Chains A and B, each alone.
Chain A
Amino acid sequence: MSLPGWKQLPIGVVILNPGNSVEYKTGEWRTLRPEIDQEKCIRCRTCWTFCPEGAILEVSEPYKTKAGREFKLTYKVNYEHCKGCGICSNECPAKAIAMVEEVI
């Protein structure tokens, strides 16, 4: 990726286009990645609530467990921004989120 030079940057330490923090891929910081076990997940939304980065996604994707339980929603992880802090895993009442070592 080629970044702008000092002459192209706005004067001073200022970001002129608001909301561009999504362009900052903090997922690169991660050493452990959360993996949600859709079989164990009870769709309680606790991980979504606690995630400090808003990196838990609540998507309208139906899921049916092997035991036959049906959910309208699925929780997924935005790995571009998840820093791997593990709060979701720690808070999950169903122990459905495992922190798995990232291997490059």
Chain B
Amino acid sequence: MGKVLPLGGNYAVAYAVKACKPEVITAYPISPQTTIVERLSEFVANGELDAEFLHVESEHSALSVAIGAAAAGARSYSATCSQGLALMNELLYIMAYVRLPMALTIVARALSAPINIWNDHSDFMSVNDSGWIMMMSSSNQEAYDEILLAYRIAEDPRVLLPVITAMDGYIQSHVVEPVEIVDDEEALSFAPKRRSWVTLNPDKPVTMGPVGDPNWYFEFKRQLWEAMKGSRAVFDEAVAEFAKKFGRSYSAIETYRLDDAEVAIVGMGSFMGTIKAYVDRARKDGIKVGALRVKLFRPFPAEDVAKALSNVKLVGVMDRALVPGSPTGGFLHSDVACSIKQAGLDVRTLGYIAGLGGRLLTMDNVRQMVDVLLKYKDSKEVPKEPIFIGVRE
């Protein structure tokens, strides 16, 4: 049993990164992420962490430098969100396809416009096709633990992909919870530095990231599809080993009172805590409702999601990012609906868009969501367009 400290999500992540001993940290401040790299700079300055701490001039440079460091064989780390992640965008794809591992934390925040520093999942969802493994926590302990999982999975020679660990801005990043931190030796024995990828080495020169003309480009896309698919088994292995070593168990999805549920709410992130609390309240009134939280978003646990929802009549999927013009309005709803369809199940879905730009989400919002499900659970037609929860008409 490690030490338990009262930590905001950002500090929790900083402690986890310190324990994993990255050699290179690239930092550019942006709210609500700033205090992660701020705390890490203190660890470096006071000698608790021996790492190159680079104050770069933009997020574009933050990821560029991390790519260079990873290419040289270093364990690298950076954190960002929102506009910063948007500025990193072109490098995200490069890092993934050159197959360089690292951990990057997204402290989820809305994308402009209007300028908004508050929490939703717009930034996280905007990079869901970039080839990164993506997971999102729902507590500060989980945010801490995801860093250890990230390095272990990313550097596994069967994977070699960078990993995004995300948490909700402010709701997690700036709210203090008890977090158990593990000894550095324990962290490193769980996530050892593998140096398992091809690196830049003057004695054994290689070319990284050359032009891939039409004769070559496609094969690397095909390669990454397989790597992403294969990473799921490594994720499962990692969480099983984590549970054995540290006593906390995770899985790609978290189900809550789904066994006999007629209707269910699917979502991601910290708000699932409130949803679970509402489920308990509704259950007392005899409403058969359950909940499902998607922790691992890429690779999407399609079979797990379908299996968990197979006995439900109607599923409501909450997206905290809007995809204007898409059939469902949200990436999570699209993937959940597709998972159900691929499994050949007769389970219908509808979607909610909620909590954009930090709009307060409450127990009453969950009640609205469940009321919609109860209204449509036995009808043939369900709303196709997303239901906007908490917006003023």
Contacts and interface: CB of A to CB of B under 8 A. Distances in A.
Interface stretch (B55-63, B80-88, B217-225, B300-308): B217-225
A13 B206 contact: no
Given A5-B219, A6-B223, A18-B205, A12 B198 contact: yes
B218 to A, nearest CB: 8
Contacts of A4: 219
B225 to A, nearest CB: 9
A11 B97 CA distance: 9
A94 interface: no
Interface in A1-16: 3-6, 9-16
A23 to B, nearest CB: 12
B99 A12 contact: yes
Given A6-B222, A18-B205, A18-B206, A13 B212 contact: yes
Contact of B198 (A3, A6, A9, A16): A16
A11 B223 contact: yes
8 tightest CB-CB pairs across the interface, nearest first? A12-B99, A15-B207, A6-B219, A18-B205, A6-B222, A12-B98, A6-B223, A14-B198
25 contacts: A3-B215, A5-B219, A6-B219, A6-B220, A6-B222, A9-B223, A11-B160, A11-B223, A12-B98, A12-B100, A12-B160, A12-B197, A12-B208, A12-B220, A12-B223, A13-B98, A13-B220, A14-B98, A14-B206, A14-B207, A15-B206, A15-B208, A16-B198, A18-B205, A18-B207
Given A6-B226, A12-B98, A13-B209, 5 more contacts: A5-B219, A9-B223, A11-B227, A12-B99, A13-B208
